[in-house]
Structure 1
Amino acid sequence: MCAPGQTPSVQILVQSSPLAGYRHGEAAAVWPLLRFGDPLELVREAQNPNDANAVRVDWRGRKLGYVPRRENAALAWGMDRGTPLRARVSRLVEHRNRARRIEFEVYLE
């Protein structure tokens, strides 16, 4: 329910993914500061020499990691065509395996 005068917002979930490349970004350094629901920025890296479909995941201007390679093709395609994708932290877990610590959702608004 919206307050009077507010326009309701519809969010369509596109995908939910674990963060890839945890050890290559600043995720470990900012881990204590991350919160459920924090907005994330998706940055297209079309010139990435390791993956032409690379989509970087940033938090407050700091590189956390990437959308997993096996899940990035549709996002890259959409971003290349101007689709307004948004992302947010959807799960934070103290896990021994760093690849399972951060999950995020990508959605259309």
Structure 2
Amino acid sequence: MDTQRLRRVLILFAALLLCAEASAGLRVRVQRSPLAGFQYHEGPALWDQLRTGDRLELVREADNPHDGRAIAVYWQGHKLGYLPRAENDAVSSAMDQGHRLDARIGRLREERNPWLRLEVEVFVVPQ
């Protein structure tokens, strides 16, 4: 089983598990990844306002000409970048199937390499 297919299976399993545990209010982290394209969007200008744990909005961009599974990441209405193309298959599949996801800033680092500056955490939450 390839990595992308395994991720899809795991996220769906996590969603089923959460449905069973909804009364306990559990959520399961299904992805932690760097933010792609940080340097090309509003992230650098907002850097001093961003905090670890801040809520992020995931927006599916199925019509994106560069990636049909694209998921843009927003903070308070400002586009910060994208989930990496190599890691967005499971999350895009979950979004397309109507699963509820929650995203947060997992880590912020003062790094010259923009790929290392911000990590995004994605969780499946009970519906």
TM-score by length of 1: 0.91
Shift, 1:15, TM fit: 0.6
RMSD value over aligned CA atoms? 1.0
Aligned residues: 103
Whether 1:77 and 2:93 are equivalent positions in the alignment is: yes
Whether 1:13 and 2:29 are equivalent positions in the alignment is: yes
Q: What residue in structure 1 maps to residue 121 of structure 2?
A: 105
Show structure 1 runs of 5+ residues with no match.
1-6
Secondary structure at 2:67 match in 1: coil
Q: What residue in structure 1 maps to residue 76 of structure 2?
A: 60
Identity of aligned residues (%): 50
Amino acid at match of 1:32: D
Show structure 2 runs of 5+ residues with no match.
1-22
Q: What residue in structure 1 maps to residue 63 of structure 2?
A: 47
Whether 1:23 and 2:39 are equivalent positions in the alignment is: yes
Q: What residue in structure 2 maps to residue 34 of structure 1?
A: 50
Runs (4+) of structure 1 exceeding 3 A deviation are none
Question: 2 CA distance for matches of 1:16 and 1:22?
Answer: 16
Shift, 1:9, TM fit: 2.2
Whether 1:87 and 2:106 are equivalent positions in the alignment is: no
Shift, 1:81, TM fit: 0.9
Secondary structure at 1:75 match in 2: helix
Shift, 1:25, TM fit: 1.1
Q: Deviations over 1:1-27 (max 9, x none)?
A: xxxxxx752110111010001122101
TM-score by length of 2: 0.78
